[in-house]
């Protein structure tokens, strides 16, 4: 672990505290039964705003080797992510007129959930995935994948091997990489002259407005606005040519960038930059009330759960997610309140959640144990999960959606 005293993007030392969530465990460090008796590392989780480039970031850096070489999140277990990936792949192939002479490279390609859809369209692909266990799954599925961290050095090596990308995709990874300038410089080196860089990342305005405090954990180093991304891209020879606000993960930005001067920007870019200027993207004043609202939310959630327990109702949770680790740790919720947590990922089943030490069971456990209420930790996939659990709900089971306001769904 190392502490950051200056902005990782622009180098400014003018950092203002936005939110302090205390010391929390590593969000995806799922435990075996043997590890439950061992000391569990916890690290400070403080969020700051850079007045130089408007980038919101956390102040502690945990080694990527520790966080990502063995990883618990497989994208293919989510129907929502599969549909999202298929739609994006179809759109990229169509809009960029990709064919068998093209190349799509994905940074943090996970288990190949997106690149397989590109392959089906007859377009060559290449994945970069640092988690060895996940890269192996992608390779077994026929997706060419190298298990390395992406940066300028790897990009230059790929170029030397004769690779140039018509599209580089980076979904839900730009928040995770400490050397963001190195990653964007690598993208610039690897892009073909008319290539584009397409990235998705949670949007800081949605995080603040909807109290998405559980988006904050040690893997997520950065919380982007278009303003901060614009500065990052321009500083490394790219220019943003399009932007969309999309609903995935509680509200995200999809940003398209190209080599500076290659394509003119669409009007949406200037419009969102101006909107951010108006609401004060780089001003500490916009973030001033966030910490107080988060504390008040915690008390409301704790009161709701305590009231249900006082009625003799049995509680469990759904989703052994990174989000859930932050939410449970900050709210101080554990086995005194929740009996267990269920998750579709067979990789997670049989382990225990960080900090709270809840046993992770398959979703079928809900119909077997029949808890009265289930705290939905993976609330960003609420529609998918509520549909999957129709039988549990039909027989009286209820879900508690905690974000942005704790509410019971019967």
Q: What is the structure's pLDDT at 394?
A: 95
R_g (Cα) of the chain, nearest Å = 21
| H-run or E-run covering 367 | helix 365-369
Q: What is the dihedral of CA 288, 402, 331, 297, to 10 degrees?
A: 40
SS3 16: strand
Domain ranges of the chain: 2-59, 68-287, 301-409
pLDDT at 69 over 60: no
- In the chain, % helix, strand, coil (3-state, to 5) comes to 40, 25, 40
What digits encode the pLDDT tens for the residues 346-392? 989 999 999 999 999 999 999 999 999 999 999 999 999 999 999 99
Phi and psi at residue 19, to the nearest 5° = -160, 140
What digits encode the pLDDT tens for the residues 226-250?
999 999 999 999 999 999 999 888 8
Per-residue pLDDT at 122 exceeds 60: yes
Q: Is residue 104 within 8 Å of residue 125, measured between CB atoms?
A: yes
Q: Is the predicted pLDDT of residue 72 greater than 70, yes or no? A: no
Q: What is the mean pLDDT of the chain?
A: 93
Query: Is residue 177's pLDDT more than 80?
Result: yes
Same topology for domains 68-287 and 301-409, yes or no? yes
Q: Which of 406, 355, 340, 344 is nearest to 379 (CA)?
A: 406
> For position 347, what pLDDT does the model report?
87
Is the per-residue pLDDT at 78 higher than 90? no
Choosing among 3.40.50.720, 3.50.50.60, 3.30.1280.10, 3.40.50.300, the CATH entry for 301-409 is 3.40.50.720
pLDDT of res. 311: 97
Is 68-287 a CATH 3.60.21.10 domain? no
Q: So what's the pLDDT on residue 61?
A: 81
């Amino acid at each position: 672990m190392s502490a950051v005293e200056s902005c990782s993007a622009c180098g400014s030392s003018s950092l203002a505290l936005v939110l302090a969530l205390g010391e929390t465990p590593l969000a995806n460090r799922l435990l075996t039964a043997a590890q439950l008796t061992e000391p569990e590392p916890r690290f400070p989780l403080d969020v700051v705003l850079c007045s130089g480039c408007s980038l919101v970031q956390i102040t502690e850096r945990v080694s990527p080797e520790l966080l990502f070489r063995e990883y618990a999140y497989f994208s293919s277990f989510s129907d929502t992510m599969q549909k999202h990936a298929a739609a994006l792949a179809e759109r990229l192939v169509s809009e960029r007129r990709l064919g068998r002479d093209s190349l799509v490279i994905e940074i943090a390609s996970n288990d190949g959930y997106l690149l397989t859809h590109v392959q089906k369209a007859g377009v060559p692909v290449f994945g970069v995935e640092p988690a060895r266990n996940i890269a192996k799954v992608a390779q077994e599925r026929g997706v060419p994948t190298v298990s390395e961290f992406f940066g300028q050095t790897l990009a230059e090596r790929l170029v030397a091997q004769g690779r140039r990308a018509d599209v580089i995709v980076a979904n839900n990874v730009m928040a995770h990489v400490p050397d963001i300038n190195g990653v964007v410089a690598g993208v610039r080196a690897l892009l073909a002259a008319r290539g584009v860089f397409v990235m998705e990342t949670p949007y800081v305005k949605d995080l603040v407005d909807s109290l998405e405090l559980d988006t904050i954990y040690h893997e997520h180093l950065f919380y982007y606005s278009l303003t901060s991304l614009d500065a990052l891209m321009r500083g490394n020879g790219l220019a943003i040519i399009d932007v969309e606000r999309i609903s995935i993960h509680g509200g995200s930005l999809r940003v398209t960038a190209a080599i500076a001067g290659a394509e003119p920007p669409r009007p949406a870019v200037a419009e969102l930059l101006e909107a951010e200027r108006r609401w004060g993207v780089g001003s500490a004043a916009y973030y001033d009330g966030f910490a107080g609202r988060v504390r008040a939310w915690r008390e409301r959630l704790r009161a709701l759960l305590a009231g249900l327990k006082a009625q003799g109702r049995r509680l469990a949770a759904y989703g052994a997610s990174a989000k859930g680790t932050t939410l449970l740790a900050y709210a101080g919720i554990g086995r005194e309140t929740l009996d267990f947590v269920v998750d579709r990922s067979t990789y997670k089943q049989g382990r225990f959640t960080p900090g709270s030490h809840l046993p992770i069971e398959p979703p079928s456990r809900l119909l077997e144990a029949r808890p009265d209420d289930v705290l939905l930790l993976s609330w960003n996939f609420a529609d998918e999960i509520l549909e999957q659990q129709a039988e549990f709900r039909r027989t009286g089971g209820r879900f508690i959606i905690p974000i942005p306001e704790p509410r019971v769904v019967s």
